[in-house]
Chains A and B, each alone.
Chain A
């Protein structure tokens, strides 16, 4: 029963969503629309689970004095400050929650991602070593796109921005489409396996 009930729920929910798509009339329309809202609500439980798990991990680190435990209070206080201020003041513009988001969370996010510029550049140096002709092709393509993105590219040769647009809209689109179509086939196959209970690894680890 521990497996049958969840598998039955998965099957029913999956079939309702498929029927809602192919037969967009009542009662499937009503069931499908409601199920989509329910999906959002239940999935939001995962956010709370993640937050609870984060707190659990850091309290455990402090309790057992594990490696870098001295930084765990920073995570806990950071979480609690945002959580409490959000509950008290809401997400209204100009209030403390919004102030901390704009002045701390957003700058930290942008800085973290901008740090990747350095690491991507060093990875590019290793990846772009022209070891064979295909690697040279990758190097040339990336170099043209980067050069076409900045004013100096047009200053060197006015056709470089055009080459960048062509590379992005033709070969890049072709490659991305091949990947997308392949991935879509994979999603269809995996979804069918999940709905019919063949794939059930997502139910593991709950004992």
Chain B
């Protein structure tokens, strides 16, 4: 059996099943959709075991050089607590695991978001008021005015009237341009995926038909 051709046919089959949704919802689409959900879940569980649990937990608890680190039993027990949610009687234990990941996540995100998404962005905006050509200076001014007025638009503790209202109006205008640009970019990203799938069908799958029928190739 030619595994390469079988793989191409499997890929083409599920691609056609999923694209059949463009006509309308149908059993072929539902079949592929359910298959995708199941296989993706299986993939992520294995990915998690191979890339998170084995290197971060198992190899710390049972090091390759020998011995056993008892302290690493604790996160394992907490991870099991998460599964306790399945059984109604033990569901309360999952709160301990949730408390641990939510607390760590909150502490971690608070400082990292403040550093990367607030301070670094403010710094980047201030530094952007640069020298250079008249166009560069104009662009820098648009950037700074855009950031400041955008922030004013998101500031709801003061009514958007007077100077605040006018600044917020500038902010919403810049935001509309930004959302338009992001939207256009997203459409193009999706289209490139569509082109990729079309190329797969035309260049990989279609040439296998004459080969299978013994018509050459």
Contact = CB atoms under 8 A, between A and B. Distances in A.
A48 interface: yes
B180 A82 contact: no
Contact of B81 (A45, A172, A173): A45
Secondary structure class of chain A's binding surface, majority of residues: helix
Interface residues of A, number: 125
| Interface residue SS majority, chain B | helix
A120 B99 contact: no
Contacts, number: 404
Interface string B48-62: 111011001100100
A109 interface: yes
A64 interface: no
B31 A74 contact: yes
Contact of A181 (B42, B86, B122): B122
B108 interface: yes
Contacts of B99: 5-10, 13, 203
A35 B74 CA distance: 11
B104 A137 contact: no
A115 B75 contact: no
Given A71-B30, A75-B35, A105-B36, A172 B182 contact: yes
Given A2-B92, A68-B30, A187 B110 contact: yes
B142 interface: yes
Given A72-B34, A110-B193, A142 B97 contact: no
Given A166-B139, A195-B106, A38 B100 contact: yes
Given A18-B111, A44-B79, A183 B56 contact: no
A14 B106 CA distance: 6
Interface of A: 2-3, 5-18, 21-22, 35-54, 56, 68, 71-72, 74-83, 86-87, 90-91, 97, 99-105, 107-118, 120-121, 124, 127, 134-135, 137-146, 149-150, 166-185, 187-188, 190-192, 194-195, 202-203, 206-207
10 contacts: A9-B96, A35-B104, A40-B52, A42-B101, A79-B41, A86-B50, A103-B7, A137-B173, A177-B146, A206-B91
